[in-house]
Amino acid sequence: MKYLSIDQCDAYYGKLKVLDCVSLDIEKGDVLSLIGPSGSGKSTLLRVLVGLNKPAAGRILLEGQEIDYQNKRSLKRARDRFAIVFQQYNLFQNMTALKNVTIAPVKIQRRPKKEVEDEAVALLNKVGLGEKLKSYPDELSGGQQQRVAIARALALKPEILLLDEVTSALDPELINEVLDTIRLLTQETRTMIIVSHEMSFVREVSSKVAFMDAGCILEVGEPRLIMENPGTDRAREFMTKILHH
Amino acid sequence: MWDRVAEELPRFFTYYNVVFFLKAMFTTFLLSLIGCVLGSIFGGLLAVIKITKSKVLWPLRALALVYVEFFRRIPFLVTLLLIFFFFQAFGLEVSVFTVALVSVWVIATAFIAEIVRSGLEAVPTTQWEAAAVMNFNLLQTLGTVILPQAWKVILPPAFSFFVLFIKDTALASQIGVVELTYSAKVLNNKGFSAALAFGVVLLLYYILSYPLAKFGAWMEMKLEISKHRSM
Amino acid sequence: MNYTIHFSQVVEYIPYLIGGAWISLQVAFLAFCGGMVIGLFGAMAKTFGGVIIRRVVDAYVSFITNTPQLVQIYFLYFALPEAGIVLDSYEAVLLGMTLNAGGYLTEIQRAGFLSVRRSELEAAETLGMNLMQQVRYVILPHIMKVLFPSLSNLYILMTLGTSMAAIFGLEELTGRALNINAETFRSIEVFSLTAVLYFFVTVAASLTLLFVGRVFFRVKGKVF
């Protein structure tokens, strides 16, 4: 039994089909990277997993159990097990960095406040923002906000961490600090799905790479294999374009 | 006209009359204030109802929509009369002030519901999404994330509505509420020059409205600045 | 409840009420036109005039926007006769509403004036347009597009505002409703009907304005 199994999923954005018969299996501890051109459905796949887009067809199974995205309780349980970091960080603007990280564990997971706070401080220190606990998002740079977002996701103690193009909205000089943070995370045993355009980074940290185009998964396999010697034409086209940047 | 006004002035501004005017002014102010505060509470509720998505609640949503669209497109005088006759039909003995207050309340609810809805929409969807994926329910999302951000967009137009409504309360005079307009009529009927009576009342409305309007504008400016606090 | 609803007794009066609605629309229209003229002068005075004229216009606008239209009309109707000027109900209401509209329209049109950017005018000039052409092809369309929402909004408010004319005996919609009420005592039915008519009148007005806006001025908007 696979840990996370996506089975022939379709998804639409209005009339546009953004996921076309997508199937993917993920083992516990996998660091799976999704690469491909813009609009290929990578982010959509992550959004579908957390229920922000409803799948029109197909099934998604977590530890063999199907997630029913139409059912409130099933969706809630699924969301308990995932955590997502968005491209635009989406920090709560009216809360400090610390509050952003502690609010969900305290209010939703109902964990004891002191324990959550101590952990939050540790997490923010880990991502290098120990000095910025009381700062508001609009006082932080993009890179800093993204690291808070990562800390916020980690505080939820998720089983699967989803990173949706987390460096794409950042100024170039801020990208590395975030990548460093993510690198740390990949070194711990954690199941992660990363959507990224940072090819060398993807190659370095992933245990598996999937290439998507036009809503379909065209190739899945070892990073080196997919990225150096792609099987399909589309993938080859993409890799040449990317590498000859 | 001016001669008459000049001649009547001392008789006009007796202690009794001045107190009468001040009380009427206070009534005008209270009508708008209490009506709008109550309207804010219920208007906020209607706005929240309108953003729910569950299928079960659709009749409530439909009702909210009809209510808001309807009462925003009817003259205050007509609403006032309708409510007046409603109370009468049900045999309820209430003061005309109560009737007027309920009317202000009913209308304020409709207008403020729209203002709140606008404010909620001003908060980016991404904030809603971030809360949703962390399993916040609607009330939690509203309370901890959305409202703290939306209130800055809601308060200025809501306050401005309150100041605006002070002028509309003039119509309550038609059902006998002793507010500012009514007081002018009373004094005119007592024999005082209409120019004097209505002139003074116009001035009193101005004194009530102008500072409040200026305050509203100042508040709007401060909130606008605080939105761009550290940029 | 010691009152039973009998709409049947009131239904025959519907044409009469609709006639009243028509009068409401006429009054609002006339007052709006008059107000636009006042507004134009006021806006021009504020944009191009000297200090004194600007202060005068400011005072006028401030007075209008901070006092109730009802009391303004009361003053015209009851106080002016003391100065020798007697207006009948219709004249007082129309004048009052026009002056009231003028105050708001001065502000609206002034905003319109301000919205025309110098760069647009310069561009028009370099294209060889003289002043008249500039006004017609650049300034006016731009202003109309910018102001259209405010103008529509005001017009709707004025249409609703005509209901206070009933207080002065005018037989517009509310006035006629009061007449019917006096005859039949079917208060709730009459005023519910009146409310519904006002609703439809404003929706119709909104739709018309939307249509006019889209067709003539390329303005997009929504009713609900």
Residue B134 has its nearest CB partner, among A108, A136, A139, at: A108
Residues in chain C with CB shorter than 8 Å from the CB of B206 are 62-63, 66-67
- C208 three-class SS: helix
Tell me which chain C residues have a C-beta less than 8 angstroms from the C-beta of B199.
Answer: 75, 79
Contact list, C167 vs chain B (CB under 8 Å): 77, 174
C-alpha C208/C-alpha C35 separation (Å) is 20
Using CB atoms within 10 A of its CB, is residue A244 exposed (0-12), middle (13-18) or buried (19+)? exposed
Could you give the CA distance from residue B3 to residue A42 in angstroms, rounded to a whole number? Answer: 84
Q: What is the DSSP letter of B61?
A: H
Rounded mean pLDDT, A208-234: 87
Task: Note the pLDDT tens digit of each residue in A49-104.
Answer: 999 999 999 999 999 889 999 899 999 999 999 999 999 999 999 999 999 999 99
Averaged pLDDT for residues C106-128: 82
Give the residue ranges of DSSP H helices in chain B. 2-12, 15-51, 58-71, 76-89, 96-122, 125-133, 138-140, 147-168, 180-189, 194-227
Q: How confident is the model at residue A237 (pLDDT cuts 50, 70, 90)?
A: confident
User: Which residues, other chains included, contact C201 with Cβ-Cβ below 8 Å and sequence gap of 6+?
Assistant: C21, C24, C25, C159, C173
> Measured in Å, how far apart are chain A's first and last C-alpha atoms?
40
Q: Assess contact for A196 and A211: CB atoms under 8 A.
A: no
Do chain C and chain A touch with ≥3 beta carbon pairs under 8 Å? no
The single residue listed with the structure tokens 């209430």 is: B94
Question: Which residue of chain A has the CA closest to B54?
Answer: A72
Closest CA to C91 of C83, C82, C81: C81
With CB atoms and an 8 Å threshold, state whether A79 touches B230: no
Q: Which of C3, C71, C84 sits opposite B205 (nearest CB)?
A: C71
Contact A80 B144 (CB under 8 A): no
Which of B126, B135, B136 is opposite residue A90, by nearest beta carbon? B126
- Which residues in chain B are closer than 8 Å to A138, comparing Cβ atoms? 229-231
Closest Cβ opposite residue B195 in set C72, C79, C161: C79
Tokens 């029109």 identify what position?
A: A56
Q: What is the sign, positive or negative, of the torsion defined by CA atoms of A169, A170, A175, A179?
A: negative
**Closest Cβ–Cβ partner in C66, C71, C164 for B201:** C71
Best to test chain B binding among C63, C163, C196 (most B CBs inside 10 Å): C163
Q: Give the residue-averaged pLDDT of C170-174.
A: 93
Angle of helix C140-161 versus helix C187-217 axis, rounded to 10: 180
* pLDDT score, position A244: 65
- List chain B domain ranges: 34-225
Token code pair at residue A144 = 């800093």
Q: What is the mean pLDDT of chain B?
A: 92
| Alpha-carbon gap: C24 to the closest alpha carbon of chain B (Å) | 12
Work out the average pLDDT over C131-144. 74
At C11, which amino acid appears? V
- Average confidence score pLDDT of chain C: 88
Contacts with B150 from chain A: Cβ below 8 Å: none
CA C212 to chain centroid, in Å, comes to 17
CB burial of residue C84 (10 Å; 0-12, 13-18, 19+): exposed
pLDDT reported for residue C219: 65
**Dmax (CA) of chain C:** 76
Predicted model pTM: 0.88
Contacts of C92 (CB under 8 A, 6+ apart): C73, C76, C77, C80, C168
Q: Do C and B make contact, counting contact as 3+ CB pairs within 8 angstroms? A: yes
pLDDT at A1 (0 to 100):
66
Q: Tokens representing C68?
A: 């109730």
Q: Please state the φ and ψ torsions of residue A2, each to the nearest 5 degrees.
A: -75, 155
The answer to whether residues C83 and B195 touch, using CB atoms and an 8 Å cutoff, is: yes
Which residues have a Cβ under 8 Å from the Cβ of C65 and sit 6 or more positions away? B213, C103, C104, C107
Contact A138 B229 (CB under 8 A): yes
The whole-angstrom separation of Cα A109 and Cα C67 is 55
Cβ <8 Å between A107 and B133: no
- What pLDDT was estimated at residue B230? 43
Tell me if chain B has a CB within 8 Å of the CB of A110: no
Task: Tell me how close the Cα of C144 comes to any Cα of chain B, in angstroms.
Answer: 24
Angle at A19 between CA A201 and CA A152, to 5 degrees: 50
Chain B CB within 8 Å of residue C208 CB = no
* d(C-alpha A9, C-alpha A23), whole Å: 7
Helices B147-168 and B194-227: crossing angle, nearest 10°? 170
Tokens describing residue C87: 């207006």
C168, closest residue in chain B (CA to CA): B174
Residue B73 to residue C160, Cβ atoms within 8 A: yes
Measured from the Cβ of residue B183, the count of other Cβ atoms closer than 10 Å reads: 24
Nearest alpha-carbon partner for C186 in C7, C21, C1: C7
Please say if the pLDDT value at position B95 is more than 70.
yes
Among A31-40, C45-54, C91-100, C121-130, top mean pLDDT goes to: C91-100
Q: Is the pLDDT of residue C62 over 80?
A: yes
Q: Which chains touch A (3 or more CB pairs under 8 A)?
A: B
Show the tokens assigned to C54. Answer: 């600007």
List the Cα angle A164/A168/A170 in 5-degree steps: 125
Q: Which CATH superfamily is domain A4-243 in?
A: P-loop containing nucleotide triphosphate hydrolases (3.40.50.300)
Interface of B with C (CB under 8 A): 1, 4, 69-70, 73-79, 81-82, 85-86, 88-91, 167-171, 173-174, 180-181, 184-185, 188, 193-195, 198-199, 201-202, 205-206, 209-210, 213
Mention every residue, 6+ apart, whose C-beta is less than 8 A from residue A198: A167, A175, A179
Per-residue pLDDT band at C121 (split at 50, 70, 90)? confident
Q: How many Å apart are CA C126 and CA C114, to the nearest integer?
A: 21
Best of B53, B55, B56, B134 to substitute, by most chain A Cβ atoms within 10 angstroms, is B134
Cβ contacts of B100 on chain C, cutoff 8 Å? none
> Do C82 and B168 make contact, defined as CB atoms within 8 angstroms?
no
**pLDDT classification of A155: cutoffs 50, 70, 90:** very high
* Sequence-distant (≥ 6) Cβ neighbours of residue C50 within 8 angstroms: none
Cβ <8 Å between C67 and B4 = no
- Which fold is adopted by the domain B34-225? MetI-like fold (1.10.3720)
Closest residue, chain B, to A137 (C-alpha): B230
Alpha helices in A127-206 (DSSP H): 142-155, 172-187, 199-205
Rounded to an integer, what distance in angstroms lies between the CA atom of residue C139 and that of residue C113? 8
Band of residue C115 on the pLDDT scale cut at 50, 70, 90: confident
pLDDT band at B231 (very low <50, low <70, confident <90, very high): very low
The kind and range of the H/E element at C158 are helix C140-161
CA separation for the pair C200, B73 (Å, rounded) = 9
Q: Over 60: is that where the pLDDT of C90 sits?
A: yes
CA A110 to centroid of chain Cα atoms: 24
Per-residue pLDDT, A229: 82
User: Number of CB pairs < 8 Å for A and B?
Assistant: 53
Residues in chain C closer than 8 A to B205 (CB atoms): 66-68, 71
Nearest to A3 by CA among A21, A24, A18, A34: A24
- pLDDT score at C148: 87
Provide the 3-class DSSP secondary structure of residue C102.
Answer: helix
Q: Which of these ranges, A51-65, B27-41, B207-221, has the smallest mean pLDDT?
A: A51-65
Contacts of B170 in chain C (CB under 8 A): 68, 70-71
**CB contact (8 A) between residue A52 and residue B130:** no
Tally of CB atoms within 10 A around C152: 19
> CA–CA separation, B208 vs B25, rounded Å?
8
Q: What is the mean pLDDT of residues C52-58?
A: 95
Contact of B122 with chain A, judged by CB distance below 8 Å, is answered with no
Q: How far apart are CA C209 and CA C224, in angstroms?
A: 14
Show the domains of chain C with their CATH numbers: 21-170 (1.10.3720.10)
Q: Does A104 lie at the interface with B, CB-CB under 8 angstroms? A: yes
- The secondary structure element, H or E, covering residue A55 is strand A55-62
Pairing of β A191-195 and β A216-221: unpaired
Q: Among B126, B133, B230, whose Cβ lies nearest the Cβ of A139?
A: B230
The angle at the Cα of A10, spanning A1 to B135, to the nearest 5 degrees, equals 70
Question: What dihedral angle (degrees, nearest 10) is formed by the CA atoms of C130, C135, C136, C142?
Answer: 140
The answer, yes or no, to whether residue C131 has pLDDT greater than 90, is no
**B-chain residues within 8 Å CB-CB of A94?**
145, 148-149
Largest CA distance in chain B: 75
Q: Is A184 on the interface with B (CB under 8 A)?
A: no
* Residues across chain B: 231
Q: Is A84 on the interface with B (CB under 8 A)?
A: yes
Q: Which among A138, A139, A156 is the nearest to B134, CB-wise?
A: A156
Interface predicted TM-score of the whole assembly (ipTM), two decimals: 0.91
pLDDT, average across residues C214-218: 74
B144 touches chain A (CB under 8 A): yes
Q: Is A50 on the interface with B (CB under 8 A)?
A: yes
Question: Percentage of chain C surpassing pLDDT 70?
Answer: 95
Choice between C139 and B84, residue whose per-residue pLDDT is larger = B84
